Amino acid sequence: MENLGYYNGKFGPLEEMMVPMNDRVCYFGDGVYDATYSRNGVIFALDEHIDRFFNSAGLLRIELPCTKDEMKDILNDMVSKVDSGNNFVYWQATRGTGIRNHAFPKEGKANIWVTIKPAEVKDLSQRIKLITLEDTRFLHCNIKTLNLIPSVMAAQKTVEAGCDESVFHRGDRVTECAHSNVHIIKDGVFKTHPTDHYILPGIARAHLIRACKANNIPVDETPFTVAELMDADGVKNDFVPIAGETRICLNILHEGNQTELLESGPQIAPAELEAFTAKFAELAAKADVVTLSGSLPRGVDAGYYADLVKIAEEAGAKVLLDTSGASLEAALESDAKPELVKPNLTETNGLLGTSFTTDDVDALREALAADDRFAGIPWVVVSMGAAGSVGFHEGRAFRAKTPAIAAVNATGSGDSTIAGFAHAIAAGADDVTVLKTANTCGKLNAMDPKTGHLVMDRWDEIYNNVEVTEL
């Protein structure tokens, strides 16, 4: 048997187990749990997990129907009944069964659940990817949650971000992860959050501390910040901190429409801009292609993108610029030219003082060629929405037409298109491949409800139906 379940003395295939709807866990999440792994029939750190389980139950005044030894016997017996040598062992106690009432049942002991399922321990030699999230698990007073919703939502965000775990923080103070404690090594010192009301005192955490002390590794049980997490030994990052809050941009999808709510964002101080410029120069020296996209924050002059283009050019990197308005005009008028600019047709008409439509490709080509601001820019791509785009590359002109799709969420399609350009140009692809790759990325993003994600299993279908014709 692979997946084995247990409920109050009854066990069987997990899929066949039945639990009464008036178990208090169904209404309130009213219970406690613990979990660990078994390997070759041996449950890891069982005594410590049982101690924590009973402590958790006691703190919530849940009366368990068994002793610690009896609980261990149940778990060991369950593990012995499954076929797999490596298993995830989960057990919980709910406060009991009764008609829904927030107050405790007057009588009755806890219900015991056990789940055993095959599970391999992850390969810890592989690097893991993380995201950070504000720790709000117990701050949702306005939501009638069944207790674990914040962790569930964090886990979902983690998966959607293509990561393995979420690191919670309260303000700048790192607490723990959605499913585990978090620790850092800094200058050879093992740092971990103290066991206060902000974290669950993890069993693995205790083992790590003991292992550190046994090997003369200093242990520091004091809170650490997100900045310290980013600066820990072995953690690579190239962030430039600022005093202001990073802006939030919301895109609301409703009845086939999109409504964007964009915060104005922080004011960038001169010292912060100087620090970023230095970091940009450092990174540009390591890059083949650099993308600059979007509007500039408050406190940053419209000519700043032009400055960055010059820095990247001097470092030998090609710059793909996707911006508009004053920042685009300043970049076009600069002596340092990007490798590519990608205004849409409306923006292009504004720059040229024209009123071209999607059918005026020849006239558009002549107008761009006659405008000195575009001289020296190898790639000029004018996007035309559903009509595709036109690309001008060193004297050659191309029309790219894309297949009709059922767009789900177009947010991020422009950025995805630029990513496609960057990938293809960095790879030294020919003109047709560059345009097909970029347009395919934009289309695949619009087909996925998650912003910045591509429906990769339809790559060949869309790529092969992007038509690029030389004019």
Catalytic residues, by residue number, are 144
Distance CA 446, CA 407 (A): 5
**Which residues on adjacent β-strands are paired with residue 396?**
393
Distance CA 56, CA 272 (A): 47
CB 179 within 8 A of CB 34: no
DSSP 324: -
Which H or E element spans position 134? strand 130-134
Q: Identity (one letter) of the amino acid at 306? A: A
Pick the closest to residue 425 from 436, 415, 414 (CA basis). Answer: 436
Distance CA 29, CA 2 (A): 27
DSSP-assigned letters across all residues of 369-432? HH-GGGTT-SEEEEE-GGG-EEEEETTEEEEEE------S--TTHHHHHHHHHHHHHHTT--HH
DSSP-assigned letters across all residues of 212-251? HHHTT--EE-S--BHHHHHTSTT--------SSPPP-EEE
DSSP-assigned letters across all residues of 7-47? ETTEEEEGGG----TTBHHHHH--EEEEEEEEETTEETTHH
Residues 6+ apart with CB under 8 A from 132: 166, 167, 169, 226, 229
Pick the closest to residue 258 from 448, 411, 383 (CA basis). Answer: 411
Which H or E element spans position 160? helix 149-160
Measured in whole angstroms, the distance separating CA 56 from the mean position of its chain's CA atoms is: 32
Measure the CA angle with vertex 381, ends 375 and 387; round to 5°. Answer: 145
